[in-house]
Chains A and B, each alone.
Chain A
Amino acid sequence: MKPLPTETPGTGRAGAKPPGEPRRVGYLYVLPALVVYAAFLLWPLLHGAYLSLFHWDGLTVGTWAGLGNYTQAISDPHLRGTFWHAAVLVFFYAVLPCCIAFLLVAVMSRSRPRGLTFFRTVLFLPQVVAMVAVAVAWQWIYSDHGPINGTLRLVGLGGLARGWLGDFTWALPSVGLIGTWAEIGLAMVLFLAGVQKIPRELYEAARVDGAGAVREFFAVTLPGLRRELSVALTLTVIAALRNFDLIYLTTGGGPGDATRVPAYEVYNRTFNTGEVGLACAIGIMIAIIVFAVTAGVGRLVEGRA
């Protein structure tokens, strides 16, 4: 075996920099990726931010609006409502799935149930199915003749049966629960992977110390899964905030304004009502919120600055 070459600073070729120091040629290496990134992400982002400063219908010459579109997005009660709906969806898309996934993982990490792989696959399946298929299936599940109402009627609770997606109170939670169903698998797979790298000895130690299931979870499992929790929360919160497909397919924002979300308004204002500037402003606001939430999650959960 050849010994590794040892380099001492100052003894290399003339002019050569120590390894690890940035060199200009580095930019050349990132260039291909940077060009693609700039053309398809940075440029549209900046152009969108630029368009958000205009009143523009997409056809005629736009007029300068300054921050007018932003103040409109915040002051218009309908548009402000969409951000509140997004917050509700964050609960259903991120908080609830993570809690349920923790529960599942806690059970699975204590006792290895039979057919674990099977359950894992089934729970992860919603992540693989196309959102269109998910939406159509759930539309049927929630419909007047669907299984939910069928079950309610069967057990004598027919009075509670309703067209869930058309109900002003229940439409948003109903859509939210579809998100919960879809995101549990993602959170669970992340947590399961994380649990496997927590040393067995910690669990044994906890048990020797007389910790019960709950205590063990908070003392060992949860701290061991901080990073996974951070990733899961980031991904699911983003999924909640950019939710468009599910709303578009299941309720179209209705009934009334009950399930309107910012991402749906971006589409609606651009293509239906011709308020491209306002739509861009809402889009930029979503981007800012996503950045802020992602940074916040990193700080809070992982404790990094």
Chain B
Amino acid sequence: MRKPFVVLTAALVAVSACAPGSGGDKPKPKAPSAVSTDIAKAGPVTLTVWDQEVLGGQNEQMEKLNAAFHAKYPNVTIKRVSRSFTDLEKTLRLALSGANPPDVVEANQGYGIMAALVKAGALVPLDPYEQAYGFRKRFPAGLTQLNSVTPDGKSLGSGNLYGVSMTGEAVGIYYNTDKLTKLGIKPPTTWAEFEQDLATAKGKGETPIYLANLEKFPAIHEFGVLLGQTTGKDALRNLVFGRGGAWTDPSIVQAAQKLADWAKNGYFPSDVNAGKYNDSPGPFAKGEGVFLIGGPWFAADLQKKMGDKVRYLLPPPAQAGGAPAATLGGPGLPLVITSKSKHPDVAAAYLNFMTTPQAMDVVTQTGGLAAVAPASAQPTTAVGRDLSAAWKTASDKDILVPYLDYSTTTFLDTLGGVLQEIIAGRKTAQQGMQEAQRDYAAFLAKR
């Protein structure tokens, strides 16, 4: 038995004896003149699109828009594959390194997915299509930046544009109007007022902020809002994009200290690190917590559970009516074109179609927060109007800072874990930020 086994082993090793990942050439970007916008003449084309728009009205939004695209170009059939965000992002690497990837996918920004795909030459830069579709003109500069990567995949925030987003996200503060009335307070107009409200709520036996932080990443939103108060948007962008600064800078540690103080003062639920983030709307709607920090992803669920009793505001500025404070957010998951797509021109037309003001109408009608101004549609709910107004302010005043976990490939875990420890009082703000900085410095060193 021994001999055949050895032969078998040798054969298996021989087959695998080449460096993993070799054999894929980087495609050359197209010249703008080679771009075709005449999609009707492209012949019968099947465009495979992978998206994660499965929650709430998102599914309807995609179905409507895909049908409209097919109606406009009957020769193009959209083959839609939709899966949850986690499933989609986990399978992208495998799918795009395979021989027959989808034409268009939704790829998350950051070093983990988008920059890694760019580095591998798996995505088509949209710059050759600029002349035809004007993607850069459609979005404010702050938003195109977040979908941009240098061609070597080493630096986020500059270089080529690789994706366009249909929706926007800004992390703000939801509040329960019933609770505010009961506490005798008004929606805060300054940050000092907000902190005063938190103290009032605590004093009257309420949980000031609902936070469920089992998954580590949620507290990054709280931390980001605090950073927006202590640190300027440019410094934060530079830090996240690896262009300068350190996580141990005084203003950063100050924000972490504030988070520690909030936790120590009992501003979060007692089981803060044990609650499941996606379940947050449930307890909040039942009255646990006066405020809830988060993005548009909570809106539909909260609206369904609380009706007009839930409203939303951007983190208030230092002075009433002053310049708005920076907060986390940016364009939603962008649509990108894969390099191995046989129909990049059709795919580009699809990206264009999905981000026109008319498409934004559909996004708004189905309850989404449109990335750019819709042609005519308006949100129908109070919280929807709040979000829409907040998004307009955020993109007009350019206050959005990328999610902090874009900093390194492991930062979601590192920073998330550190924040859990700071909230639990196991690490001081200074110790926690030193650990975050170690991960950050190690990543920058090998980048």
Binding site for B on A (CB under 8 A): 27, 38, 42-43, 46-47, 50-51, 54, 56-64, 139, 142-144, 162-168, 251-257, 268, 271-274, 276
- Asked if A167 and B273 make an inter-chain contact with CB atoms under 8 angstroms apart, the answer reads yes
With a cutoff of 8 Å between Cβ atoms, the chain A residues found around residue B117 in the complex are 59
- Asked if B122 and A143 make an inter-chain contact with CB atoms under 8 angstroms apart, the answer reads no
Can you list 28 A-B pairs with a CB-CB distance of less than 8 A?
A38-B8, A42-B9, A46-B9, A50-B16, A50-B17, A54-B19, A59-B117, A60-B119, A60-B120, A61-B22, A62-B21, A144-B274, A163-B274, A165-B274, A166-B213, A166-B273, A166-B420, A168-B424, A254-B420, A255-B214, A255-B273, A255-B417, A256-B417, A256-B426, A272-B409, A273-B413, A274-B116, A274-B409
Interface: B182 (CB within 8 A):
no
Interface: B90 (CB within 8 A):
yes
CB of A167, distance to nearest CB on chain B (Å): 7
- Asked if B271 and A143 make an inter-chain contact with CB atoms under 8 angstroms apart, the answer reads yes
With a cutoff of 8 Å between Cβ atoms, the chain B residues found around residue A253 in the complex are 413
Interface residues of B in 186-240 (CB under 8 A from A): 213-216
- Asked if B22 and A166 make an inter-chain contact with CB atoms under 8 angstroms apart, the answer reads no
Interface: B342 (CB within 8 A):
no
- Asked if A167 and B93 make an inter-chain contact with CB atoms under 8 angstroms apart, the answer reads no
Interface: B72 (CB within 8 A):
no
Interface residues of B in 57-108 (CB under 8 A from A): 90, 93-94, 96-97
Interface: B159 (CB within 8 A):
no
- Assuming the contacts A251-B214, A257-B417, asked whether A274 and B112 have C-beta atoms less than 8 A apart, the reply is yes
Interface: B322 (CB within 8 A):
no
- Assuming the contacts A61-B19, A168-B421, A274-B93, asked whether A254 and B8 have C-beta atoms less than 8 A apart, the reply is no
- Per the CB 8 Å criterion, the residue count for chain B at the interface is 45
Report which of A50, A62, A142 forms a contact with B274, defined as CB distance below 8 A. Answer: A142
Interface: B337 (CB within 8 A):
no
Interface: B13 (CB within 8 A):
yes
A42 to B21, CA, bound (A): 21
- Asked if B97 and A58 make an inter-chain contact with CB atoms under 8 angstroms apart, the answer reads yes
- Assuming the contacts A60-B120, A255-B417, asked whether A51 and B20 have C-beta atoms less than 8 A apart, the reply is yes
- Asked if A59 and B271 make an inter-chain contact with CB atoms under 8 angstroms apart, the answer reads no
With a cutoff of 8 Å between Cβ atoms, the chain B residues found around residue A164 in the complex are 274
Nearest 5 Cβ contacts at the A-B interface: A163-B274, A166-B274, A163-B271, A166-B273, A144-B271
- Asked if A166 and B13 make an inter-chain contact with CB atoms under 8 angstroms apart, the answer reads no
- Assuming the contacts A252-B215, A255-B420, A256-B417, asked whether A163 and B112 have C-beta atoms less than 8 A apart, the reply is no
- Asked if A46 and B120 make an inter-chain contact with CB atoms under 8 angstroms apart, the answer reads no
- Assuming the contacts A144-B270, A163-B275, A166-B271, asked whether A54 and B410 have C-beta atoms less than 8 A apart, the reply is no
Interface: B43 (CB within 8 A):
no
CB of B98, distance to nearest CB on chain A (Å): 11
Interface: B4 (CB within 8 A):
yes
Other A-B contacts than A59-B97, A63-B19, A254-B215, 14 sampled, CB-CB below 8 A, are A42-B9, A46-B12, A59-B117, A62-B22, A64-B19, A163-B273, A251-B214, A254-B214, A254-B216, A256-B426, A268-B413, A272-B409, A273-B410, A274-B112
- Assuming the contacts A64-B19, A273-B112, A273-B409, asked whether A255 and B271 have C-beta atoms less than 8 A apart, the reply is no
Interface: B269 (CB within 8 A):
yes
With a cutoff of 8 Å between Cβ atoms, the chain A residues found around residue B93 in the complex are 58-59, 271, 274
A163 to B17, CA, bound (A): 50
Of all chain A residues, the one with the shortest Cβ separation from B271 is: A163
Binding site for A on B (CB under 8 A): 4, 8-9, 12-13, 16-17, 19-22, 90, 93-94, 96-97, 112, 116-117, 119-120, 122, 213-216, 269-276, 409-410, 412-413, 416-418, 420-421, 424, 426
A4 to B16, CA, bound (A): 53
- Asked if B96 and A59 make an inter-chain contact with CB atoms under 8 angstroms apart, the answer reads yes
With a cutoff of 8 Å between Cβ atoms, the chain B residues found around residue A162 in the complex are 270-271, 274
With a cutoff of 8 Å between Cβ atoms, the chain B residues found around residue A58 in the complex are 21, 93-94, 97
- Asked if B421 and A54 make an inter-chain contact with CB atoms under 8 angstroms apart, the answer reads no
A47 to B12, CA, bound (A): 8
- Asked if A59 and B116 make an inter-chain contact with CB atoms under 8 angstroms apart, the answer reads yes
CB of A280, distance to nearest CB on chain B (Å): 10
A163 to B16, CA, bound (A): 48
Most chain A beta-carbon neighbours within 10 Å: one of B12, B269, B272: B12
CB of A196, distance to nearest CB on chain B (Å): 36
CB of B151, distance to nearest CB on chain A (Å): 13
- Asked if B421 and A256 make an inter-chain contact with CB atoms under 8 angstroms apart, the answer reads yes
A257 to B272, CA, bound (A): 16
CB of B12, distance to nearest CB on chain A (Å): 5
- Asked if A163 and B216 make an inter-chain contact with CB atoms under 8 angstroms apart, the answer reads no
A253 to B13, CA, bound (A): 34
With a cutoff of 8 Å between Cβ atoms, the chain B residues found around residue A42 in the complex are 8-9, 12
- Assuming the contacts A252-B214, A273-B409, asked whether A56 and B20 have C-beta atoms less than 8 A apart, the reply is yes
Most chain A beta-carbon neighbours within 10 Å: one of B20, B116, B216: B20
Report which of A47, A59, A254, A271 forms a contact with B273, defined as CB distance below 8 A. Answer: A254
With a cutoff of 8 Å between Cβ atoms, the chain B residues found around residue A252 in the complex are 214-216
- Assuming the contacts A166-B275, A251-B214, asked whether A60 and B410 have C-beta atoms less than 8 A apart, the reply is no
With a cutoff of 8 Å between Cβ atoms, the chain A residues found around residue B13 in the complex are 46, 50
CB of A152, distance to nearest CB on chain B (Å): 13
Of all chain A residues, the one with the shortest Cβ separation from B418 is: A256
A237 to B214, CA, bound (A): 27
With a cutoff of 8 Å between Cβ atoms, the chain A residues found around residue B412 in the complex are 272
Report which of B119, B213, B421 forms a contact with A59, defined as CB distance below 8 A. Answer: B119
- Asked if A272 and B112 make an inter-chain contact with CB atoms under 8 angstroms apart, the answer reads yes
CB of A58, distance to nearest CB on chain B (Å): 5
- Asked if B21 and A139 make an inter-chain contact with CB atoms under 8 angstroms apart, the answer reads no
